[in-house]
Amino acid sequence: MNLGILSLVVVLPAKDEEALIGDCLASIAVAAERVHLAVSVIVAADSCTDNTVPIARTFPGVTVLEISAASVGTARRAGVELALAGTGVPLERTWIANTDADSTVPANWLEHQLAVAAGGDDVLVGTVRPRESDLTPAQYQAWLSTHDDGQAIGHVHGANLGIRGSAYAAVGGFEPLDEHEDNDLVHRIHTAGFAISASDQSEVVTSGRRMGRTPGGYARYLREGLLAEITPTQIGEEIAQ
């Protein structure tokens, strides 16, 4: 079977991200320039009350879908449904790249995902790195101490996730969950026997804010889990600053 991708779509949910979505979409545009396919970008703007929507609409080739679900799972699902509608391309030759509006992707992001797809994998689980300027020095050092370069441990992040269309459809897509919709989807794809790979070769930089759009998720890890990993010495240094 020819596993080459003919249709490449990027989907990202957004909830009041006027400060960050411009950098996100600019980084996707750079990544799109490095692939030999037209790239469709869908922003699923969920219950936005700021300038997220008008900012996103200034980017050529970006489609903004406005919904009022207050659910990241619903937003991702709606974005994917719109991206796949009417393409006429078989799902096994369609690739869905996922990120978040508070993140920036590297220049090789889409290039690497297409290479993984061409190799036969159905899902790419990529790594993320919190924006250093969003963390205190002690917190960032704590993060570095548990995340070695050159090691992809397979944690699932919606900010850096690629999925073959046929695998996505086979398990019913994103569930309308308020959080952890990315982990849920990859778990179901794994259970269904599709090929999944983890890689740190196209790491995404994401917001290091400690108060996220949902109670859990990456923001909670940075707020609670990461703090638990800081040593007493580091805490003392933090207080002294």
In single-letter form, the type of residue at position 147 comes to: H
Q: Which two tokens stand for residue 203?
A: 């790491």
CATH superfamily of 7-136+146-208: Spore Coat Polysaccharide Biosynthesis Protein SpsA; Chain A (3.90.550.10)
Q: Residue 235's pLDDT is what? A: 24
Instruction: Examine the pLDDT at 180 and tell me if it is beyond 50.
Output: yes
**Separation of alpha carbons 206 and 186, rounded Å:** 20
Show the CA angle centred on residue 212, arms to residues 189 and 239, nearest 5°. 125
**Separation of alpha carbons 213 and 71, rounded Å:** 10
Q: What is the pLDDT of residues 68-77, one digit of tens each?
A: 999 999 999 9
Q: Residue 224's pLDDT is what? A: 53
**Separation of alpha carbons 160 and 171, rounded Å:** 20
**Separation of alpha carbons 34 and 168, rounded Å:** 25
Q: Which residue has the higher pLDDT, 120 or 144?
A: 120
C-beta separation of 106 from 32 below 8 A: no
Q: Residue 92's pLDDT is what? A: 96
Q: Residue 215's pLDDT is what? A: 59
Q: What is the pLDDT of residues 184-216, one digit of tens each?
A: 999 999 999 999 999 999 999 998 765 556 655
Radius of gyration from C-alpha coordinates of the chain: 18
Q: What is the pLDDT of residues 12-34, one digit of tens each?
A: 999 999 999 999 999 999 999 99
Structure letter (DSSP) for residue 152: -
